[in-house]
Amino acid sequence: MTMTNDDMTGTPCEDDARQDTLPVEDVVEPMSDEVIAGLAETVEGEIGEAIRQLIVDRDQAREDRLRALAEVSNNQRRAVENERRIELSARAAIVRGILPVLDQVNMALAQDLESVTTDQFAEGVRIAGDELMKMLAEHGVESIEPSPGDEFDPMQHEAMLKQAADGIEADHIVQVMQSGYKMGERVLRPAKVAVAP
């Protein structure tokens, strides 16, 4: 049997019928603690006792939650304070290490430059530099000092210019222009070099 559009007019489809029978969810308004407590007192027997116990458990859970939130907040505050103290302590250790170097520089500058030879002045500066390197080494800092002929490593070296040199292969260091420094595997400053083209 073939149905036409005229035959279907007025006949609800199955989906429309299902939509009419779907239950509408009621919106439940939350009751206040006083209303719940009042209702619990009106119920007798085991059910009333169970409701009263649930109220006690709920109140305890609320207190536990507030206590846990306060503890998390206190832990976060203490962690921030600890980070600040550690950072300040680390800075103080570095500054304490630099102070002897500053003393050496001041001693070198305090000399009577008229009576000091260039070699003596240079020796004072070298002593201050050695003291500084010693302090940096105590903090895990190492110098990056490649030699001419070493292969260029972009992770530790910075090519400042291309420069041809006899006997040095392409992409190998021709000249070190400035030392680099690293702390563990972290490069603080790459060594500045000239590289063979």
pLDDT tens per residue across span 7-55: 545 544 445 544 555 555 667 777 787 877 777 778 778 888 888 888 8
* φ, ψ at 62 (rounded to 5°): -65, -45
Indicate where the chain has its CATH 2.30.22.10 domain(s).
141-197
Q: What is the pLDDT of residues 44-97, one digit of tens each?
A: 788 888 888 888 999 999 999 999 999 999 999 999 999 999 999 988 988 888
Locus of tokens 């040095």: 168
Fold of 141-197: Nucleotide Exchange Factor Grpe; Chain A, domain 2 (2.30.22)
E-only strand ranges, the chain: 141-144, 157-162, 173-178, 180-183, 186-189, 191-195
Nearest by Cα to 159 from 149, 173, 145, 144? 173
- pTM confidence score: 0.53
Name which of 186, 184, 194 is nearest 157 in CA terms: 194
